Amino acid sequence: MIPVSYNVRSLTVRRATTLATGLGIALVVFVLASSQMLARGIERTMGLSGSVDKVIVMRKGADAEMSSAIETRFVNLVLAGPGIKRGGDGQPLGVGEVQLVVALERADAPDDREAAQVSNVQLRGVPDNVMAVRPQVRITQGRPAKPGTDEVIIGRRIAGEFKGLALGQSFELKKNRRGQVVGIFEAGGSSFESEVWADIETVRSSFGREGIVSSITAQLEGATRFDAFKGAIESDKQLNVQVLRERDYFEKQSENTADLVRYLGIGIVFFFSIGAMIGAMITMYGAVSARQREIGTLRALGFSRTTILSSFLLEAILLATLGGAIGALASIGMGLVEVSMMNMQTWSEIVFSFEPSPPILIGAVVTGGVMGLVGGFLPALRAARTSPVDAMRA
């Protein structure tokens, strides 16, 4: 075995080249890790919104709350279904909600009308007992909205992002009717943090949604009670609704967007890594030809071809893994960044963050190392094939 310090030293001697190649690989790994982190962030944000022991009921055929409508008189019927948990007061833990999308101007948009950057924000009309059904929601600033008023609370991630969405401000629900922001809530990183919550009656009367809810969400006694509930409710032809686990529903909502980001990321990285591998190859060929004489000497001293091959491969992997580690480290910094993106499913903006995870980071560094392995293979082979006689003469 040739000592590793030999490789380390050769990398430090050719500092500029090492740096350029390592940085190239670092960038590829950075893009790879970041895109996977964002896809994970999207899934997690949506996944956190739903839990396995809750159900969501929508009209049959509707693929989102937005396009669903159920008559109010059916709400109690659904909540009376088997397996629904009851609260301390004996009432079922469930809510019928109205969900809408409202157009608001971005906070940084210019006042010029034609250039107005209008974006969609989800507005949820919730009944009084919503906090019992969604216990992850906590008011962090201000206070809860008074029931029966036009007061609203907003998720922490959209606070300040749109005109009117800040504590003490208001936005237009309809003519001469404004929603007054009195509180900001967090919801454990879920997509609720990108929503505006108002009293269900306020939403109904402002948007002509009298007599209907978009969806019904209810807490099961346990995750295993799902099938019983689903069977009972879906077989009722009069209701004409479908039942989904809340987790499944929200995950489906994020599927398209997360997949787009994930596959776009992988596609881009595929191209990028070819570039980076070529870079590694150039560097390693350079290293081999610069050390032709040394290699010849080593061969003359009796080192085998395999030893020389593995030494150069090791050097390439070392270089690439180092670059990869730098890229992965930098990508952790992206964890501080939040991006506001349109969810393809609901046409409304949700704020996501990049979510680092050990598998993503390790995977990215390993990918970097593999780039070194692939890029370094041919040069290492050339080194191993060096004839000691020719090399000494060169």
Partner 1 sequence: MSLARIAIKNVGRNRFRASLTVLGVMVAMVAFVLLRTILSAWTMGAEHAAQDRVATRHKVTFLMSLPKRYVQDISTADGVQAVTWCNWFGARLPDRDDVFFANIATDPESFLRVYDEIELPPAQREAWLQNRRGAIVGAQLARQMGWKAGDRVTLAGTIFPGDWEFTIEGVYSTKRRSIDQSTFWFHWDYLNDNADLPETMRDQVGWIVSKVDSAGRAAGIAKRIDGVFDSRDIQTLSMSERAMNTSFLGMLGALLQAVDVVSVVILVIMMLILGNTIAMSVRERTNEYGVLRAIGFRPPHIAGFVLGESAAIGLCGGVLGVLLARPMINQGVGRFMEENFTGLFPYFRLEDSDALLALGVAVVASALAGAIPAYNAGKLDVIDALRRVG
- How many residues belong to the chain? 394
Closer residue to partner 1 in complex, CB, 246/349: 349
Q: Which of 33, 46, 57, 66 binds partner 1 (CB under 8 A)?
A: 66
Does 20 engage in binding with partner 1 (CB under 8 A)? yes
Q: Which of 73, 114, 237, 301 binds partner 1 (CB under 8 A)?
A: 114
Does 393 engage in binding with partner 1 (CB under 8 A)? no
Question: Residue 222 Cβ, how far from partner 1 at the closest point, in Å?
Answer: 30
Does 272 engage in binding with partner 1 (CB under 8 A)? yes
The piece of 154-162, 185-193, 295-303, 341-349 that touches partner 1 (CB under 8 A) is 341-349
| Listed residue (226, 188, 240) closest to 56, CA to CA | 226
Closer residue to partner 1 in complex, CB, 144/275: 275
Does 390 engage in binding with partner 1 (CB under 8 A)? no
100: how many CB neighbours lie within 10 A of its CB?
21
Does 322 engage in binding with partner 1 (CB under 8 A)? no
Closer residue to partner 1 in complex, CB, 104/220: 104
Question: Residue 184 Cβ, how far from partner 1 at the closest point, in Å?
Answer: 22
x/- map, 145-174, partner 1, by CB under 8 A: ---------------------------xxx
Q: In the complex, which residues of this chain contact partner 1 (CB under 8 A)?
A: 16-17, 20-21, 23-24, 27-28, 30-31, 59-63, 66-67, 100-103, 106, 113-120, 123, 172-175, 207-208, 240, 260-261, 264, 268, 271-272, 274-276, 278-279, 281-283, 285-286, 339-342, 347, 349
